[in-house]
Amino acid sequence: MKNVQPETLTLDRIATPVGEVLLVTDAEGAVRALDFSDYEARMMRLLGRHAPDAELVPGRSPEVVRKAVEAYFTGDARALDGLTVKTGGTAFQRSVWAALRDIPAGETRSYGQLAAAVGSPKAVRAAGLANGQNPIAVIVPCHRVIGANGALTGYAGGLERKKWLLAHEAAAL
């Protein structure tokens, strides 16, 4: 029987204007998770679903990834666009997360528009649930999804952060 070593992921901590972020990357530099430190338990739960056998070690992310995250929070709303992300999830969840990355910085979409973007216009609730299970906050910009009436709806990092992120992107552009 083959002895498979668990994947090692690096956990980095980066100070931002809206709190410390936890950034998890793999050996290839792909982002596996990002969340705010006060939501660490949520991030660990999602990471456990997407990389159940991974070993998480404290360390520093690859410089290109770290600098992109820092640049985003200091005013470059598009700094995260080129980063590679890697998640588990169902095919539907991954399609929703890919559609989130297609929403330009400074713009928003409704849950209905998100569902339509993945070819399932009647799956509004399912798109919303997938949005809420996104393990890579900010880089996979779930904060850019709002209610059909334009209201800011739930955000795993808190509505005040969602408001800040949207205003930050609008001001940066």
Long-range CB contacts (within 8 A, 24+) of 87-92: 87/32, 87/50, 87/135, 87/136, 87/140, 88/49, 88/50, 88/51, 89/49, 89/50, 89/130, 89/133, 89/135, 90/130, 92/118, 92/120, 92/123, 92/126, 92/130
- Does the annotation count 94 as an active-site position? no
Q: Which of 77, 142, 145, 165 is catalytic?
A: 142
Catalytic residues: 142
